[in-house]
Amino acid sequence: MMKTRAYLTSCLAALAASTAIGSAHAAEGVLTVATIGEPPTLDAMQTPTDIVLTIDQHIFETLYTYDAQWKSVPLLASSAPEISADGLSWRIPLRQGVTFHDGSAFDSADVVASLERWMQVNSKGKQVAEIVESLAADGPDAVVFKLKSRYAPLLATLSQASIILPSEKIAEELTEFVGTGPYMLKERRPDQYTQLVRFDAYVSPEGEASNFAGKREAIAKEIRFVPVPDANTRVEGLISGQFDFADALPVSAYDRIAQSDAATPVIFENQGWPSMNMNMKEGLLTNKDLRQAVQLALNPTDMMLAAFSDQRFFSVDGAIFPEGFYWHSAAGVTRYGEGDPEGAAELLEKAGYDGTPLRILTSRQYEFHYKIGEVAKAYLEAAGFKVDMQVVDWATLTTRRADPAQWDIFITHSNFPGDPSTINTVTDSYPGWYVSDQKAQAVSVYLASTTDAEKLTAWEGLQGVIYDDAPLFKVGNFNGLSGLAKGVEGYVPTYWPHFWNVTPKE
Amino acid sequence: MTDTTNFLAAPRLLLRNRAALLGAVILAIVVLAALLAPLIAPYAPNKLSIVNKLQPPSASHLFGTDEFGRDILSRAIFAGRVSLLVSLGVVALSTVLGVILGVAAGYFRALDAPISRLLDAMMSFPDILLAIALVAALGPSVATVIIALGITYAPRLARIVRGSTLVLREMPYIEAAITLGLPTWRVLTRHLLLNLASPVLVQATFVFASAMLAEASLSFLGVGVSTDMPTWGTMLASGREYMNSAPWLMIFPGLAIVFSVLSLQLLGDGLRDLVDPRLTKER
Amino acid sequence: MSDPVLSVQNLTTAFRSREGWREVIRGINFEVKAGETVAIVGESGSGKSVTALSAMRLLPRDKTRSTGRILLEGRDLLTLPEAEMRKVRGGRIGMIFQEPMTSLNPVLTIGNQLAEALVLHRDMSWREAEAEALTLMERVRIPSAKSRLHEYPHKFSGGMRQRVMIAMALACRPRLLIADEPTTALDVTIQAEILSLISELQRESEMGVLFITHDMGVVAEVADRTVVMFRGDMVETGETSRLFAAPGQPYTRALLASIPRLGTMNGAAGPRRFPQVDPRTGTASEGREMPLPPAGTAPVVSVSNLSIRFDLPQGRVHAVEDVSFDLHPGETLALVGESGCGKSTTGRAIMRLTTPSAGEIRIDGRDIARARSSELRTMRRSAQMIFQDPFASLNPRISVGDAILEPILTHGLLPKAAARLRVAELLDQVGLSPEMAGRYPHEFSGGQRQRVSIARAMALEPKFIVADEAVSALDVSVKAQVSNLLMDLQASRGLAFLFISHDMSVVERISHRVAVMHFGEIVEIGPRAAIFGNAQHPYTRRLIAAVPVPDPALRGTRSAAPPQEPRSPLRPLDYVAPKRLYREVAPGHFVMAETSA
Amino acid sequence: MNRIARALLGRLAGMLLVLAIVATVVFVIVRVTPGDPAAVMLGSDATPQDIADLRSRIGLDAPLIVQYGQFMLGLLRGDLGQSIFLGQSVGEALLARAEPTFFLTLFSILIACAIALPVGVFSAVRRGTLFDQVVVTLTMIASSVPSFWLGLILIQVFAVGLGLLPASGYGGPESGFLERIQHLVLPAIALGVVNSALITRFTRAAMLDVLGDDYVRTARAKGATETRVVLKHALRNALVPIITVIGLSVAMLVAGAVVTETVFGLPGVGNLVVSAVLRRDYPVIQGTLLVVAAIYVLINFITDMLYILVDPRVRL
């Protein structure tokens, strides 16, 4: 703990002691990545946000990971799990010869210790903990799950955020970040940069690279994640050659990047989908007719056009999963399309809407949320709703959202998860508090199904229920725009950008 | 005492000072535009028309359109309302606070030290930082921004008022009022405050200018007032994204700020020349 | 005498204003010979200072224009290039100004500023100049000069700073010294010292002196020839004694007639009004004598053992020490003394503008020395005050009528309509026309404003008025009229006055009794005739002797007392003043026994 | 000597009192803030239960009085507390960010004074001439321009347009001191220009005020040249008000830095506060506001000491 009593004078004297790190670094082989912000911590179990997962996937590895179809394939596991007939016992064999960054060997003890912490700290882990009878090592190279009841999404949960650390480093509050990934953590200066260097003794899984699966090679000697919260600054930095990669750029900058000689724009198809989630616990939208009136009134095309300004960056599709995804289906999709103010007005009439204002919560920290809200307000007012648009910063939004008395609709976005049952509105406790018998019934059918075909029909049933109960309005699918400096080869766009197999420019 | 005690002649003297006249004219234009916004704005400020978004300045849209296809001229005119409202609120609050604290510190010797320490504390909060913290605390409403900026600017006024009160307190006409047995509140209001009017007015115009700049910075940072009515700061913030492809989104709100603040500075300088220099100095 | 050092021929100076050039002085002609002193005298706004500044070409070049010729030892200064003119300033002509307190640079030491004059003109090194500066300071008789060379101006009194100014001006032995009202801001005793110093230095170096003043007494004291100016024109010029004996122009006659002179009471017991002067003809009829106050009345205010002390970081100032006196209805008691003697502080304590440290102040029989402000309301009805600066005595933001009306209404003496009538009546009594009530202070002259203050003071029908230097800031002619007004009001309404002043000639005319104060104590108190005719205390005698008498014949009859280092009023925190004893020399005429000071 | 010591102690007590007031106000403001760091930290799909666990771990659910006590005691030990987000003490976080803000403020003040002092003095001496009118007009306009707007324009023209200077950031770990300073050029100009306008106007007003004083006329009467009158006699006396305005603008610069650092992406103290508020990192908000207030109080103290050097009449 630095003695800071003389802090006031030393703060002025910082001039002399400016901590310039003059580590000589190999001229070649550095990748500078501009991210949307500083990760609160590198503990992906406790804080599974996108920015943390993006950086952590280079340092830590999970038992399984997602391939191009977002199906779970082995990573630290050597093969798919051997599941007993009754589906209650899962044996997962582990790969041999894998070592941690600190040189210690990787074995089942590390897996058990890591997953036990995961089941205490991680929100998905806690749900899994409820249905797990026991977890034990089966020799040094395998672990066995004993389940209380069948649980289809288990494989998906073991492919995200359930990172494996050496058992010695497991603690309530992680302090040393040692993993098995292709890169090691060298230094982290909050709000300035997180510096990773190549882990030379890395043992890569086999197979042709597809999404996060397959061969991983740490070509760049060093990767440096630099938090640049302001989107425009990321764009200007990319164009002026300061960054090798700039994440989550405003789509309006596409043409500028395309024309610039320093970088090329990279589009990641179907990065996610914005939604207007409704409060079914208290207030106006407890009435189903009004919820359906909201769905009817809105025109997704105009909302997406305002937010993403160009057809190249969005598509309008009622199905919750877009084409090309295993879970894509149009089953049950209704009240989605052109926006029908008259129809909505009739529903308002029927519901006896008395003009109390509809409170919409949004934030400008995600500019497209705000733009969608602006257009939605126009269409809802055209249908006869009174709208009170509340623009707050993200921290206030996440707090108000937890209190059912303070809002009717909040705008957010999410990705297309590997397992459909992990979609936010499916869990009862997620703000909006969507609870209905037909939902519970459809979910249990899904959980109980084992084969892929069974899961798909169960999901189609669930999607139909979701559209009928109308807990949210899916606006559309948007593509992510990022920018890659010219001369950098081998980058393949994925939901969490990864930089193994990528060769930095000379 | 220079002939500025002749306050009847003040208006005539003010108009002869060309700079102050120019300032008064520009300010009048800005205020009138804001007041008559509904009448003179060519379009409704929030009328979307996504199809013709990001149009450059043209006959139909003098200042061009923004990313939602809204007319920037109309929005700038309506934005004037919020910026002026907030800044006026800040001026009012800081003037009331400043005068009360300034007179108390200047007139009553016993209160001088404690109030001065309080003023030091209030002054040591940089205006933007306190505003950000308060806006985050109390929520981004017009009232919060007014309170935040009002508190940080009150000391500037209080110090000038205290300085002037120290000078005026020694004036024979104040001592005469005391010897005539007039109650203290009457001495303070009719004799002291009436003569504080001009130095306060001068400092108030400069506070007005700083408040406008601060309000613009706050909304630019995204922590300013959150009304669905635009402010020049929020227009600049959303215009920044298109600065390269559609610079007019940035230029016109910026110019609106510069002209309004410039008019206030000109007016303030013009007024200062009329006021007895001893009264406009900090003691 | 050889040809003149300075010859001003048909000098006209104009100022540039919005409406074009405005002439401030027109057709000025005079000469100053070596060793001769020429005075320029005139009331404020007569242009006497502009004449001096034109000669030194110190007026801003872009806003002023001077025509005519100003010959210094034959060279015309108006056509001299600036570089040459700079050699003249300080080298050939030295100049000193009116405000000693602000004429020295506060952030530079005395030695530095003196040495600068030498370095500029006599190409000395700084070390030599500083040594010479020491001799200069000794030449103007600044006590313990050696140790004070490196001190800053704020450590010196007004008189000492003026001496430094003189040393600076005469550093390079100029042929001409221009003195612009050098002693106006000084006390009369220090003024006498400075005047004798200037004449002594003049005799040594045979230099010419151009002396600018508004005080005819000073003119009589120092000037060989005199130029009288009025609103930018030369009214009259001539040899000083002839001018005083037989003034040619009516303005000069009127000016001389209205000057308060010492010793013109010729035996009157009570006060005597100033002569009524007819400005057109300049003839003056001697003022009539005013009645004595009714005998045997209870005092309106009686002050006993009054002490006022202020605590400063450096120590304690005993501003007023154990002062006692009474004031009876219809009587004028004058409190006289030099600046810093405590006369104003005493007046302010009676009005409770400052809180006394000890002693009693009985008004209408009740001691108000430490009464709380709420109890003072009734006292405020019987005691009122008039202030020195007419321009700051009236609230500029309200009309004069309202200023007088306000106290009447707040004390609820009369209903609104009757109160307005009362205001008209009061304005009339002080010689102003009632319909002026609606006008604002900036529309009145200094004299008129002082009349409004008097009317305001009388609004509550007080028993006595404290007049703190009430006429000191007025021009000579107006000073006489306002003094006469006070005497008339005293006679007609039986008012008592505590008349605080440093101007002995006004005090002699206006007061029944006089108390002389020195360093916070009353050194002598008694009837006016006794104090002026038969002064007992050495300080009183010195005070009266130092007053310049406007009669050239009496020049040089006084001894130039050696300059004393002014006693510092600062005392240690635990200082206890010695108990003073008073001898009664004659009925009602007391003198402090101890002969200190 | 004890009088001097006593006076200094008095000043110190005054300063500490001011800081105590500031600390208390900051503590209250931050505690009233809705939005909970735990919720922000855990991301959007954390359950209320997770948030409650984290809150208790960081000690946010202790009664306010206890938290206040800990905070004030910590202050006495010079410990500004532990940042919730950055995993380091607030002191370390501030020290790591001191360099950009310190240099930004330093350069802005240097640019401001380099322009303002000579121009202010010269336009006062040359009052009414064309030069003076141009200076007055330019400074009037410059002090009406929002510094962030000027910053954006500078970025477009110099960084993105001409590519002369870096658009944002503060260089990577390996960039040397000189390269980092390059990042400060544009922000310093954006801040410096606006501030130099204010200082120029004050310097001009102070000089005009002093040039009207009697001792200036005495100096001229002594035959001193105009330059000696202006530089030796007038300027020395104008220093007190000029020092005051420079002290004030240093304080305003720290506030201005908040916006400028955000626009230019400089990892300075201003940026830290904005991100701390957005992620409700209480200790950092408290610590930063307090340190900025302390710097302001320190600047005030330094200006007072300078007065004593410049003006002999000013006693402690």
Instruction: Tell which phi-psi region holds residue A87, choosing left (phi > 0), alpha (psi between -120 and 50) or beta.
Output: left
The chains found to touch B (3+ Cβ pairs under 8 angstroms) are A, C, D
Q: Of all helices (H) and strands (E), which one includes residue C361?
A: strand C358-363
Q: Could you tell me the domains of chain D? A: 2-76 (no CATH), 98-310 (1.10.3720.10)
Question: C597 with C518: CB under 8 angstroms?
Answer: yes
Q: Of all helices (H) and strands (E), which one includes residue A289?
A: helix A288-297
- Nearest by CB to A396, from D35, D177, D265: name it: D35
**A27 exposure class (CB count in 10 Å sphere: 0-12, 13-18, 19+):** exposed
Tokens of A137: 């090592």
Query: With bands split at pLDDT 50, 70 and 90, how would you rate the model's confidence at A10?
Result: very low
Give yes or no: residues A196 and A276 share one domain.
no
User: D33: which chain B residues are within 8 Å (Cβ-Cβ)?
Assistant: 133, 136-137
Domain membership of residue B239 (yes or no) is yes
Per-residue model confidence (pLDDT) at position D157: 86
Per-residue model confidence (pLDDT) at position A8: 45
- Write down the ipTM of this complex: 0.79
pLDDT greater than 80 at residue B10: no
SS3 of residue A425 by DSSP: helix
Taking the C-alpha atoms of residue A278 and residue A411, their distance in angstroms, rounded to an integer, is 9
pLDDT greater than 70 at residue D44: no
Contact A364 B48 (CB under 8 A): no
Give the pLDDT mean for C558-578.
70
Domain membership of residue B103 (yes or no) is yes
Give the pLDDT mean for D277-292.
83
Tokens of A94: 């582990």
Give the pLDDT mean for C356-377.
85
Q: What percent of chain D shows pLDDT beyond 70? A: 93
Closest CA to D188 of D271, D253, D117, D273: D253
For A451-461, write each residue's pLDDT tens digit.
888 888 999 99
DSSP-derived letter for residue B3 is: G
Q: Of all helices (H) and strands (E), which one includes residue A371?
A: helix A367-383
User: D144: which chain B residues are within 8 Å (Cβ-Cβ)?
Assistant: 209, 213, 257-259, 261-262, 265
**C571 exposure class (CB count in 10 Å sphere: 0-12, 13-18, 19+):** middle
**C1-92+175-246, which class in CATH?**
alpha beta
The chains found to touch D (3+ Cβ pairs under 8 angstroms) are A, B, C
Contact D258 B221 (CB under 8 A): yes
Residue extents of the structural domains in chain C: 1-92+175-246, 102-173, 301-535+561-592
Domain membership of residue A324 (yes or no) is yes
Give chain A's domain count: 2
Question: A352 with A287: CB under 8 angstroms?
Answer: no
Question: Residue C366: beta bridge partners?
Answer: C363
The alpha carbon of residue C14 and the mean position of all alpha carbons in its chain are separated, in whole angstroms, by 30
* Phi, psi (deg, nearest 5) at residue A478: -120, 150
Give the pLDDT mean for C198-206.
88
Please enumerate residues of C whose Cβ is less than 8 A from a Cβ of D.
56, 58, 62, 86-91, 94-95, 97, 99, 102-108, 116-117, 120-121, 152, 154, 165, 168-169, 313
Min Cα distance B105 → chain D (Å) is: 16
Closest CA to B173 of C339, C407, C368: C407
Give the pLDDT mean for C574-595.
82
Closest CA to A140 of A169, A105, A90: A105
Which residues does B258 contact at the CB level (< 8 Å), separation at least 6? D141, D144, D145, D146, D149
Q: What is the mean pLDDT of chain D?
A: 84
Contact D222 C106 (CB under 8 A): no
Q: Could you tell me whether strands C513-518 and C496-501 are parallel, antiparallel, or unpaired per DSSP bridges?
A: unpaired
Closest CA to D242 of D131, D118, D129: D118
**CATH number, position B153:** 1.10.3720.10
Give yes or no: residues A48 and A151 share one domain.
yes
Question: D44 with A412: CB under 8 angstroms?
Answer: yes
Contact B226 A391 (CB under 8 A): yes
Instruction: Tell which phi-psi region holds residue D81, choosing left (phi > 0), alpha (psi between -120 and 50) or beta.
Output: left
Taking the C-alpha atoms of residue B199 and residue B280, their distance in angstroms, rounded to an integer, is 5
Q: What is the mean pLDDT of chain A?
A: 86
Contact C407 B184 (CB under 8 A): no
Per-residue model confidence (pLDDT) at position B271: 82
Instruction: Please say whether the dihedral angle defined by the alpha carbons of residues A243, A247, A250 and A256, taken in this order, is positive or negative.
Output: positive
Contact B223 A378 (CB under 8 A): no
Q: Of A21-30, A428-437, C159-168, where does mean pLDDT reach its minimum?
A: A21-30
Contact B129 D32 (CB under 8 A): no
Q: What is the mean pLDDT of chain C?
A: 87
D/C Cβ contact: 3+ pairs below 8 Å: yes
Query: What's the N-to-C CA distance of chain A in angstroms?
Result: 41
Q: Tell me if chain A has a CB within 8 Å of the CB of B140.
A: yes
Contact C373 B176 (CB under 8 A): no
Q: Of A4-13, A300-309, D297-306, where does mean pLDDT reach its minimum?
A: A4-13
Expressed as residue numbers, the domain containing A155 is 2-230
Domain membership of residue B26 (yes or no) is yes
For C300-312, write each residue's pLDDT tens digit.
899 999 999 888 8
Which chain B residue has its CA at the smallest distance from D10's CA? Answer: B113
Which residues does C112 contact at the CB level (< 8 Å), separation at least 6? none
Which of B173, B182, B198, B200 to probe by mutation at the C interface, max C CB count within 10 Å?
B173
For A222-237, write each residue's pLDDT tens digit.
999 988 888 888 888 8
What is the pTM assigned to this prediction? Answer: 0.81
Question: B232 with B249: CB under 8 angstroms?
Answer: no
- Specify the higher pLDDT residue, B259 or A192: B259
Residues 137-176, chain B, touching C (beta carbon < 8 A): 171-173, 175-176
CATH number attached to the domain at C301-535+561-592: 3.40.50.300
Give chain B's domain count: 1
- In this structure, the number of other CB atoms found within 10 A of the CB of residue A134 comes to 10
SS3 of residue D49 by DSSP: helix
For C62-73, write each residue's pLDDT tens digit.
889 999 999 998
pLDDT greater than 80 at residue A19: no
Contact D224 C120 (CB under 8 A): yes
The chains found to touch C (3+ Cβ pairs under 8 angstroms) are B, D
Contact B179 C397 (CB under 8 A): no
Which of B49, B124, B242 to probe by mutation at the A interface, max A CB count within 10 Å?
B242
Contact B172 C388 (CB under 8 A): yes
Per-residue model confidence (pLDDT) at position D45: 63
Question: C528 with C544: CB under 8 angstroms?
Answer: no
Question: Residue C180: beta bridge partners?
Answer: C212
**CATH number, position A110:** 3.40.190.10
Per-residue model confidence (pLDDT) at position A3: 41
- Nearest by CB to B48, from A253, A378, A391: name it: A378
For A232-282, write each residue's pLDDT tens digit.
888 888 888 888 999 989 888 888 899 888 899 999 888 899 999 999 999
* Phi, psi (deg, nearest 5) at residue C53: -65, -30
Taking the C-alpha atoms of residue B160 and residue B268, their distance in angstroms, rounded to an integer, is 14
Taking the C-alpha atoms of residue D224 and residue C87, their distance in angstroms, rounded to an integer, is 9
Q: Tell me if chain B has a CB within 8 Å of the CB of A252.
A: yes
For C490-510, write each residue's pLDDT tens digit.
989 889 999 999 888 889 889
Give the pLDDT mean for C349-357.
90
**CATH number, position A472:** 3.10.105.10
Min Cα distance D29 → chain B (Å) is: 6
Expressed as residue numbers, the domain containing B116 is 17-36+62-282
pLDDT greater than 90 at residue A184: yes
Q: Of A351-355, B142-146, C125-129, C373-377, where does mean pLDDT reach its minimum?
A: C373-377
- Nearest by CB to D273, from B120, B129, B281: name it: B129
Please enumerate residues of D whose Cβ is less than 8 A from a Cβ of C.
3, 128, 213-215, 217-225, 232-233, 236-237, 310-313, 315
Per-residue model confidence (pLDDT) at position C274: 84
- Nearest by CB to D255, from B129, B261, B277: name it: B129
Q: Tell me if chain D has a CB within 8 Å of the CB of B120.
A: yes
User: C410: which chain B residues are within 8 Å (Cβ-Cβ)?
Assistant: 180-183, 186
Give the pLDDT mean for D187-206.
89
Query: With bands split at pLDDT 50, 70 and 90, how would you rate the model's confidence at A395?
Result: confident
Per-residue model confidence (pLDDT) at position A14: 40
User: C90: which chain D residues are within 8 Å (Cβ-Cβ)?
Assistant: 221-224
Taking the C-alpha atoms of residue A225 and residue A59, their distance in angstroms, rounded to an integer, is 13
Q: What percent of chain A shows pLDDT beyond 70? A: 94
For C211-263, write each residue's pLDDT tens digit.
999 888 888 888 999 999 998 999 899 999 888 888 888 888 888 887 777 87
Question: Residue A32: beta bridge partners?
Answer: A224
Per-residue model confidence (pLDDT) at position C464: 92
User: D279: which chain A residues are within 8 Å (Cβ-Cβ)?
Assistant: 40, 395
Residues 20-59, chain B, touching A (beta carbon < 8 A): 46, 48, 50, 53
| Alpha helices in chain B, H assignment, sequence order | 10-16, 18-35, 37-40, 72-107, 109-123, 127-138, 142-169, 172-179, 184-186, 194-221, 232-240, 248-274
Give yes or no: residues A212 and A350 share one domain.
no
Min Cα distance A200 → chain D (Å) is: 22
Taking the C-alpha atoms of residue A319 and residue A332, their distance in angstroms, rounded to an integer, is 9
Q: Could you tell me whether strands C570-571 and A72-74 are parallel, antiparallel, or unpaired per DSSP bridges?
A: unpaired
User: C105: which chain D residues are within 8 Å (Cβ-Cβ)?
Assistant: 215, 218-219, 233, 236-237
Give the pLDDT mean for C99-111.
89
Contact A11 D89 (CB under 8 A): no
Which of D148, D298, D301 to probe by mutation at the B interface, max B CB count within 10 Å?
D148
Contact D273 B244 (CB under 8 A): no
Closest CA to C223 of C463, C48, C104, C482: C48
Min Cα distance B261 → chain A (Å) is: 27
Q: One fold for both C1-92+175-246 and C301-535+561-592?
A: yes
Residue type, B217: S
Q: What is the mean pLDDT of chain B?
A: 84
Per-residue model confidence (pLDDT) at position D43: 66
Radius of gyration of chain A (CA): 24
Min Cα distance C25 → chain D (Å) is: 21
Min Cα distance D307 → chain C (Å) is: 11
pLDDT greater than 80 at residue B222: no
- Nearest by CB to B172, from C389, C406, C442: name it: C389
Question: C216 with C256: CB under 8 angstroms?
Answer: yes
Per-residue model confidence (pLDDT) at position A7: 39
Which chain B residue has its CA at the smallest distance from D206's CA? Answer: B281
Closest CA to C551 of C237, C245, C282, C286: C245
Tokens of B236: 């600049």
- Nearest by CB to B50, from A252, A305, A389: name it: A305
- Specify the higher pLDDT residue, D39 or A118: A118
Which CB contacts under 8 angstroms, 24+ apart, belong to C403-409? C403/C452, C403/C456, C404/C437, C404/C452, C404/C455, C404/C456, C404/C459, C405/C459, C406/B180, C406/B182, C406/B190, C407/B180, C407/B181, C407/B182, C407/C456, C407/C459, C407/C460, C408/C459, C408/C460
CA distances from C450 to A185, B174, C316, C399, C445 (A): 87, 16, 35, 15, 9
* Phi, psi (deg, nearest 5) at residue A411: -100, 130
Q: Tell me if chain B has a CB within 8 Å of the CB of A232.
A: yes
Q: Tell me if chain B has a CB within 8 Å of the CB of C467.
A: no
Radius of gyration of chain B (CA): 22
